[in-house]
Structure 1
Amino acid sequence: MKKVIATPNAPAALGPYSQAVFANGVLYGSGQVGLNPETGEFAGTTIEAQARQIFRNINAVLTEAGFTPADVVKTTIFLDNVADFATVNGLYEQFFQNSQVLPARSCVEVAQLPAGALIEIEYIATK
């Protein structure tokens, strides 16, 4: 059985998809960009501002589903400029600081992200 997870505390989907789907004990989170859910605008124009907002958005969806960052087992980070990796890595480490086991992770540079985002992060969580 699949259950759609949605919260107004994270940006609404920009297309025909769900913020997250819970199926067979696993939460599959759609890619989050750094949009502020209250304004629908990017949280800022820097990689740091957008990444911080993404982690707030991910946390909101995790909370809605009854999960925490410690339950995340896999992430994929998409950057429009891999030179921003060190900044993102530091914020990533802060977000997962209470996780005994850090998630598996992939990070790739892409040509372009939705709505002109600088970064997008998708995730999978399980209990």
Structure 2
Amino acid sequence: MTWAAAAASRFQIPAMDVALLRSRAPVVFGVGCVSLAGAKFCGSSSARSKPFACLSISTDASIKEAVHTEKAPAALGPYSQAIKANNFVFVSGCLGLIPETGKFVSESVEDQTEQVLKNMGEILKASGVSYSSVVKTTILLADLNDFKKVNEIYAKCSFVLPSFLLGYQRARARNNQRSTVVLMHLIRALFTAWGDFQAPAPARATYQVAALPMNARIEVECIAAL
């Protein structure tokens, strides 16, 4: 048996009814395949190996919802304070500005850091979440030498420490003995009833940049889960 005969016996193409073909739809050519009279003939190689062999366009566009609160400084440009999408809240970079005046709380990085976290907390609240929902933060510093100072304040934030521990630290800082005693009893009761409340801190990245808007010392953005 010749090679051609062997090949013909191995690969047989089924006969097609010509009359049936004439009565069907015309030939339609597509990427990676040909449709002829309702019969579909595709190449033997996988569609994944051919660019644009299969294109899928989703009609279910992600619904975005802008978040706005007057308890935080207004955006300085064409952007939202935060956006809710895909079960997350994306908070834009926050500066240490006083919402009512639009001015910095002070020139110190410590004061600006506290104001930044306060502003971010108001935006999170307006989004329907809290610090405990934050999964990622990004810190931008004008001077990386401020890293240690920022860390000390950041560690007191309520997404790192439970809110009652944060209140306890603030009371101690103000030397308010009565408030300190009350909070100590509350902390003891809560730890006895529910155990350790220390939540894992969110993921974080910190960068030094050449400059920040309005010559700010620090800017912080975050992502929170809904």
What TM bracket, shorter-length normalisation? over 0.9
Cα-to-partner distance string for 1:80-121 (whole Å, 9 max, x where unaligned): 001101111111111121261211000010110001100000
- Aligned residue type for 1:77: I
Larger strand fraction of residues: 1
SS state at 2:156 partner: helix
Displacement of 1:64 after TM fit?
0.6
Length, aligned pairs only: 127
Query: Equivalents in 2 of 1:43, 1:25: separation in Å?
Result: 33
Query: Equivalents in 2 of 1:91, 1:6: separation in Å?
Result: 26
Indicate conservation of the 8 Å contact 1:3/1:21, yes or no: yes
1:89 corresponds to 2:188? no
2:122 to 48, 60, 67: 60
Displacement of 1:71 after TM fit?
0.4
1:28 corresponds to 2:127? no
Query: Equivalents in 2 of 1:71, 1:90: separation in Å?
Result: 21
Runs of 4+ in structure 1 deviating by more than 2 angstroms, as ranges, are: none
1:2 corresponds to 2:67? no
Query: Equivalents in 2 of 1:106, 1:24: separation in Å?
Result: 22
| RMSD value, Cα | 0.9
Unaligned runs of 5+ in 1: none
Cα-to-partner distance string for 1:45-97 (whole Å, 9 max, x where unaligned): 00001001001100000111111101000000000001101111111111121
Identity, % of aligned pairs?
43
Larger helix fraction of residues: 2
Unaligned runs of 5+ in 2: 1-62, 163-197
* Structure of higher CA gyration radius: 2
**RCO higher in 1 or 2 (8 Å CA, sep ≥ 6)?**
1
